[in-house]
Structure formats: structure tokens, C-alpha cells
Structure 1
Amino acid sequence: IAWTASAAQGKAAEAEVDYSLRATTTPGKVFGFLGALGEVAFTYTGHNVVLEIQATIPSTSGKLSKKPMWKGVIVAYVVIAACYLPVALVGYWAFGNGVDENILITLNRPRWLIAAANMMVVVHVVGSYQVYAMPVFDMIETVLVRKYWFTPGFRLRLIARTVYVALTMFVAITFPFFSELLSFFGGFAYAPTSYFLPCIMWLIIYKPRRFSLSWLTNWICIVIGVLLMVLSPIGGLRQMILKIKTYKFYQDYSGLSHN
């Protein structure tokens, strides 16, 4: 819906689109680029649920779970690319630097179509939130049971999970720096565990021959991952600081400085 509607609207207003960068200063352009890298890194993560999902797949010596899991991962990333890349490319072509962080905000018509798209987003988030939060739920409940002697059961799950969801919702509403937080956590938290720590562990365990294809590939991923971890949070944090200067709690923060 997002990219087809963008294409339809962009064709009508193509002459009025500005494709220049939002930032007007050199630091703004550099840090904006670094922040964008963090957002891309965040988009292609999923390490925290991979093992949880694979644990539900039957595995025997004759039929290892890693084979269907590998196929599933490939399909998942293909679907992600098919969903995100057209929106990014067509959205920028249609609206240029005037596109919002949430392209559905930029697409203000037809209203019924945008409403339908937002409903689909709600359904998607409700489902994906459960999957991504499941390891956190498990950790919280384990700590409460083992350390604080709570009785395991439905009541504990209901209270603990409800409190966690309410807390994350409160933080999201209070600090709605979605793009900047993606940049920061994409580099600081997800780049290590998704991009270079698995490569380091693979090199330690399998010890491939030096300068072989697998050795070089893993080291390239390690170098890129370390650079992402160091540089992306800087860009995201800088953009967040700029917006905090003029941000007022529980008010619209769109259109704040990108310099």
C-alpha cells in the first residue's frame, strides 16, 4: 500500500519534489549518514528470536533443524527486502526530503487506504511484538521465580508481561524519537550480536584456514560490524540531542532540526 500509493501521488507532483539533503551543514550530513547506517542495521536484525524459533523445530540426527531454519531465514530476509526497499526507493522518489519517518503520515490521502494500511501495521506489530518480546518475558519471569520466589503460573505471566508492555509503551510515548533510537540501538546493541560476534565465534570454533574465502568473509563482516557499532550510535545520539533541545513532552515533534 505504501509504495503503490507513493508512486501514484509522486507521479502527479514529480516537478515539486526536492531531492536535496535535509541537513544544511557538513556535520549534519555526516551524522545523518551514520544514523542511517544504524537504521539499516536495525532493520536486518533478528538474532534474539532466531534460537527461540529454532528450538520449536523438531531436530534429529537424520533431520537437523538447522536446514529448514536456514531456508526460513533466507525467505524471511527476502521478504524483508521486498517490503522495505520498494517503500524506501519509491517513497523518496515521490516525496524527496519531505517524506516523514513514517511514510503513512506523508500519505494523507486517500484516507480509507491509509487507515487500512495503519490497521495492517497494528496487526503486524501486535504479532511481531510477542515474538520479539518472548525472550524478555522469559528472562523476567525466570528472575522473579528464582530470585524473588514468585509462584510461576498464569497470574505471574499476566502481571509481569502487562507491566513490561505498559512500561515500554510509556517510554515510547514519552520519548518518540523513533528514527534516532533505531540508529542508536541498531549500532550499539544489534550490530555486535548480529554482525560480528557470531563471526568471531565461528572463527574460534571452526578455525578456517587463513586467507581462505570463509576466513576473509568473516573478517570483513567483523570489520563492518565494529564500524557500525562505533559510528552509528554517534549519528543517532547526535540527532536525538538536536531534537531534544526543542522537544516538548507529549506534543508533535515532527519537523525538528536535522542540521
Structure 2
Amino acid sequence: MEMEKQKDRERMDMVDDDGRIRTGTVWTATTHAITAVIGSGVLALPWSVAQMGWILGPLALIGCAYVTYFTAVLLTDCYRTPDPVHGKRNHTYMDVVRSTLAPKDVIICGIAQYIMLWGTMIGYTITTATSIMAVVRTNCYHYKGHDAKCNTSGTLYMVLFGIVEIVLSQLPNLEKITLISVIAAIMSFAYSFIGLALGATKFASHGSPRGTILGVHIGADGVSASTKVWHSLQALGNIAFAYTYSMLLIEIQDTLKSPPPENKTMKRASLYGIGVTTIFYVSIGCIGYAAFGNDAPGNLLTGFYEPFWLVDLGNIAVVIHLVGAYQVYCQPIYAKYETWLSNKWPESPFFHKVYKLPFPFSKGKSLNFTMCKLVVRTLFVVLTTLISLMLPFFNAVLGLLGSVAFWPLTVYYPVTMYIAQANIKRGETRWWGLQVLNAGALIISLLAAVGSVADMAQRLKHVTMFKTEL
């Protein structure tokens, strides 16, 4: 009896000021940070380095890492408002915006977030098809020889992927199932390490690093001056996309126990997480570039054919990761528009009548859904798949996503919220320094967006709609 009372007292000591029990530490937060940052964007890093060369490429990787870490440090102090240690908790990124900035900023930030989420779904659809095509082509070359005609189309694979996501989108609260995140994390590390190992092996096979100081040459590598410019700008967007982190930082910080203060713990976790990720990214980007030189593929894993079983494992890991990750990104969009629609038409059976579909061989368990959930979610996935079929450009889509998210979500809002939180006056030295960072990030984002859109426009002249080939 005494032991139970002791456990109750310990449990009460763990309850925070908002009634929740938090057990997160610097190490769990570091793990979450690494998992949040490392994703399919890592596969484009060797190509990105190749566009800029041995000096600007690594500098861009390190520069984006530093900016991401610096703004993450600013954002950690905004978890509680108005005081970073004793203020009211903000459980999400949007809660911080709502607590510190004007209502118009909440709307703009929400639009940027949802564009990023939807764009990532499009990118995941394209990446999945690319990885499946790579598996088919690798096996074809292995069994028929490298002189065989092994071109394959990804149109069918995009459609099949869309069908799978339609089915999964009907499941409730999929983004909250821990198993999905665990599998996604394991798969992202698996294909990243496989890509790193394959690149290191290829680099070792020819003994000396390939590549040039300025990257892809105009004319010599079959590219025009304009293409070189667009690809270099697009590469910046790819690198920015690979470091996407700020959107999830507040949610990770909300899991931390205190004392010590959450902002202090989260700053350490961000340092460790982004530090490890940067070492990993620089290794993959530079080793991949050293292995392939200026011919680095847009997706690292598509550049290898042997050992075919290891290449296949890497690409299959990408597919498994993205099947679950797609749902993590689309569920917040579903929740937002379904809540808005149900509030707008509170009496409509289309939005409120719940249908139950019993699961076979299970007692009392059923899939609950509304017609809105069945119809609108299906149409949303179909629309996403159609756009992916029309824009089957892995690197261009990643570059555009990075440019859309980098300035507003990674730099502008963390900087602006920190200025409001810390009460930094206009004209102070700190204010000017933060504004210079803000303006520089805006310029980079705009240039990256222009490069990605220009590359898409060029490629659309030479592709057939709804026909994706590798």
C-alpha cells in the first residue's frame, strides 16, 4: 500500500502546469530532431554539390545547417510566452505564432505550412515512383546485362502508390500511431547509410575524388549557361529542404520534462541533432560527389546497379518510409479542412453521419468514417497524384519545396517571434543583425524558387504529360 502511495506521489511530481506528464530528455529530443531532419532530401545532396562544386557545395551544406541551428535556438525561447522559462506553454508552431504575432501572421504562416505539407506529398509520390523504377531497372540490368534496354515507366507506380494512400487515408489518426514513425525513422537511416556505403565504395574503386572547383561545366558537361544557373539555384533549394526542422521543433520541445527549463534542454538537443545531421549530410553530399563527379545522379540510389540486392534494399527502404511519411504529412491537412467543413455545415449528414465498416475476424472493431472523409480524402489524394504525374521532376520539386519553406518557416517567423518575445527594439544592433539574416534568407529562397520553376519549365518542353520514365 505504501509503495502505491509513493508511486502516486512520484506521478504527481511529474505532472506539469498544464496537467500533462512529460518525460522527454535531451537525448529523446536529440533523437526526434535527427529523425525529423533526415529524410528523402538526403538523396539529392550529391547532385546539389555537383551543381556548385567543391567549394560552394560544402559551404552551402554547412551554411544552411548553421542558419537552421541559429533560428532553432531563437525558436526554443518562444515555446513559453511571454517569459521563456515561466510563461504559458505553446504546444505547436502555430500556437507560438498565435501567441506572439498578429492574426494575419497566423493566416500567412498556416498557408505556408499547408503548402509545404501538400508539396511534400507530391514530392513523396514522385520519389516513390523513382525508387520503384530504380528497383525494376537494377534487376533488369543484373539479369539481362548492362547493354539491355531497361527503360521503365513510373506512371503505373504513381497510380498504385496513390491507391495505397487512398486506403491508408481512411484510417483514423494514423499520424499518431507510434509504429509508423518508428518504421519511417528506421527506413530513413537504412537508405541513407546504404547510399553512403555505396558512394564510399565507388569512390574507393577509382582512388581519387572526382568533381571540379566550380561543379558542372558549361558546355563541357552538356549544359547551357542558363541551365547551370537554374540548377545551381535549385541545388540551394534542395539543401534547404533537406534541413527542414523548425516546423517540428516546438512539438518536440513540448515533450520535455522540467527542470531544467525546456528551452535550455532543447538548445542542447538542437545542437546535437543538427550537428550529427550536418556531419552525415556533408559526408553523403561530398562522398557522393567524389564518387560520381559532375555526373552525380539527381537521386543518389538511382546511380548504382551493383550489388543489385543492396541497391534494391535501399530503394525499397525509401518506398516503405514514404508510404507512412505521406500519411504523417497529409493527416494535418485532412484535420484542418474537415473541421472547417463540419463547422460550416453542422447539420449536414455528409459531414457528420458516421458509418461503421466491421473489420473481418475481429469482435466489435470497425472502421468509422463519414462520407466527407471517404469522398474528399479520396479526391485529395487523386489530385495530388495527378499533379505528381504532370511534374515528375525529383530535384526541381525538392528545390521548390525548400525555397517555399526555408525563408518563412525556418527564418522569418522564428526571427520575428524572437524579436517580439525578447522585446528587441527597432534600430538596436541585434535587431539589425537579425534583419540582415532575414533579408539574406529571403533572397536565397526567391533565387531557389526561380531556379526550380525555370528548370520545370525547361523540362516540360521535353516530356510527355502523364508519362514518367527513368
TM-score (norm 2): 0.47
Distance in 2 between the 1:14 and 1:251 partners? 39
Matched residue type, 2:200:
A
In the other structure, the counterpart of 2:380 is: 164
In the other structure, the counterpart of 1:107 is: 304
In the other structure, the counterpart of 1:12 is: 205
After superposition, the C-alpha distances for 1:88-145 in whole angstroms (9 at most, x for unaligned) are 1111100112121111110111111011111222233234333333432321221232
Q: Percent identity?
A: 26
In the other structure, the counterpart of 1:239 is: 455
Q: Tell me, yes or no, if the aligned pair for 1:2 and 1:117 is still in contact at 8 Å.
A: yes
Query: Aligned-pair distance for 1:69?
Result: 4.4
In the other structure, the counterpart of 1:30 is: 229
Query: Aligned-pair distance for 1:65?
Result: 4.7
Q: Tell me, yes or no, if the aligned pair for 1:14 and 1:94 is still in contact at 8 Å.
A: no
In the other structure, the counterpart of 2:402 is: 186
Q: Tell me, yes or no, if the aligned pair for 2:391 and 2:456 is still in contact at 8 Å.
A: no
When structure 1 is superposed on structure 2, of 170-179 and 65-74 the one drifting more is: 65-74
After superposition, the C-alpha distances for 1:55-77 in whole angstroms (9 at most, x for unaligned) are 5x2777x6655455444444442
Distance 1:152 1:105, change over 3 A: farther
Distance 1:147 1:83, change over 3 A: farther
1:229 correspondence with 2:428: no
Matched residue type, 1:155:
F
Query: Aligned-pair distance for 1:253?
Result: 5.3
Q: Tell me, yes or no, if the aligned pair for 1:41 and 1:191 is still in contact at 8 Å.
A: no
After superposition, the C-alpha distances for 1:5-50 in whole angstroms (9 at most, x for unaligned) are 1121233245795645165333332222221111122221233344
Structure 1's unaligned 5+ residue stretches are: 255-259
Query: Aligned-pair distance for 1:217?
Result: 4.4
How many pairs are equivalent? 251
Q: How does 1:1-259 map to 2 (within 5 A)?
A: 1-13=194-206, 19=212, 20-21=215-216, 23-24=218-219, 25-55=224-254, 57=255, 65-149=262-346, 150-151=351-352, 154-156=368-370, 159=374, 160-208=376-424, 210-212=427-429, 214-252=430-468
Matched residue type, 1:145:
S
Distance in 1 between the 2:203 and 2:318 partners? 22
Q: Tell me, yes or no, if the aligned pair for 1:47 and 1:193 is still in contact at 8 Å.
A: yes
Query: Aligned-pair distance for 1:235?
Result: 0.8
Q: Tell me, yes or no, if the aligned pair for 1:45 and 1:194 is still in contact at 8 Å.
A: yes
Give SS of 2:461's match.
helix
When structure 1 is superposed on structure 2, of 102-111 and 12-21 the one drifting more is: 12-21
Distance 1:86 1:158, change over 3 A: farther
Q: Tell me, yes or no, if the aligned pair for 1:180 and 1:239 is still in contact at 8 Å.
A: yes
Matched residue type, 1:108:
Y
Distance in 2 between the 1:99 and 1:222 partners? 32
TM-score (norm 1): 0.80
Q: Tell me, yes or no, if the aligned pair for 1:145 and 1:152 is still in contact at 8 Å.
A: no
Distance in 2 between the 1:52 and 1:148 partners? 31
Matched residue type, 2:246:
H
Q: Tell me, yes or no, if the aligned pair for 2:230 and 2:454 is still in contact at 8 Å.
A: yes
Structure 2's unaligned 5+ residue stretches are: 1-193, 355-367
Q: Which has the larger radius of gyration?
A: 2
Query: Aligned-pair distance for 1:183?
Result: 1.8
